[in-house]
Structure formats: structure tokens, C-alpha cells
Amino acid sequence: MGKTMEKVLVKNYYDSFLAEKGLIKPSEIRSVEIDAIVDTGATYLCLPPKVIEELGLKYAYMKPVKTGNGSLELRIFRGAEIIIKDRSADMRVMENKDDNVSALIGYLVLEAMDWVVNPKSQGIMGNPLNDGKWVRYVLILSVSSHSITFLISVQRLMVNVCQETN
């Protein structure tokens, strides 16, 4: 099996918001298009430090991670709008250890956009369980008289729960 690559457009979400409000011009939205390796063993969209700096993303926290080379802590940033093909998600991103490490598309990104890896074409495609359409799964739980809705974007979780509250 070969390497799966996809183009990813990443925008600064806060810039997009400011442009919507007319506070900056749309041309001032910081964005980067980058080729990334689709890595189902990675969790986040992982970007090189120089790309995160160029985007002006905001530091959120440190996250312990385990890699094939051992354990370390990497920085998580907020404020990224991630666009792959015709689908987008606002998510946090992880900073790669250095600029020499390729960008990675992790499973949270794939699941949020309902993409699956197609090993034959060495690309991604819409989830065949949903006829390739972008579907989000909603699980509604009823706790006493309050309903709590969780948005679940997990390909393998197919749950239809309908429960009336009294």
C-alpha cells in the first residue's frame, strides 16, 4: 500500500470571523494550502511550526503524545478552519516537532468530515456507508426532563436513538 496524500486548506478562523464582520478584508484572512499525508494513526491535523506561525493560530495547551520514537509533549493550537475538498471543520491542530516533519491529516479530521481512506486510489473518499455524502451522527439522550444532544462524528457508530421525554 502506498502513501495517501491530500491537499488541505487551513485558514485562521478568527480572521474569517473578522472578515465576516467587515473588520478586515477577505484578502487579509491568513491561510495556507499544504500537501499532507493522511495518517489514520495520527489524531489531529499536524502542521509544521512555520505554518502555524504563518497562520497566527493561538496556543491552547501542551499534549503528551506517543510516537514510534518515544513519548514527548507537543503544542496544541486553536482557531483553525480546515478545508479538504468540499468539506470543512473548525478544529484544533497539533504542532509538529519541527519544520522537517510533513503535515499529517489525523483521524479526528477524517471523522469530522466523514472521509475514509481509499487504498486503491491512494486518496480519500466520502464514507461509502453514507453513499459518499457528508453525514453527521446525532445521539440524543434523555436525562430526566432535560435532553442533552451530543454530536458524534464517528464512522463506525451508527446509532438511532429516539426516546420521548415525559
- Radius of gyration of the chain measured on its C-alpha atoms: 18
The confidence score (pLDDT) of residue 60 equals: 95
Cell numbers linked to 93: 491542530
Positions of the chain with pLDDT under 50: 145-166
Same domain, residue pair 149 and 122:
no
The confidence score (pLDDT) of residue 144 equals: 52
Residue 76's domain is classified under what CATH number? 2.40.70.10
Contacts of range 124-127, beta carbons closer than 8 Å, 24 or more positions apart: 124/4, 124/6, 124/38, 124/84, 124/85, 127/155
At 110-122, the pLDDT tens digits run 999 989 998 888 8
Model pTM? 0.77
Same domain, residue pair 86 and 163:
no
- CB of 3 closer than 8 Å to CB of 16: no
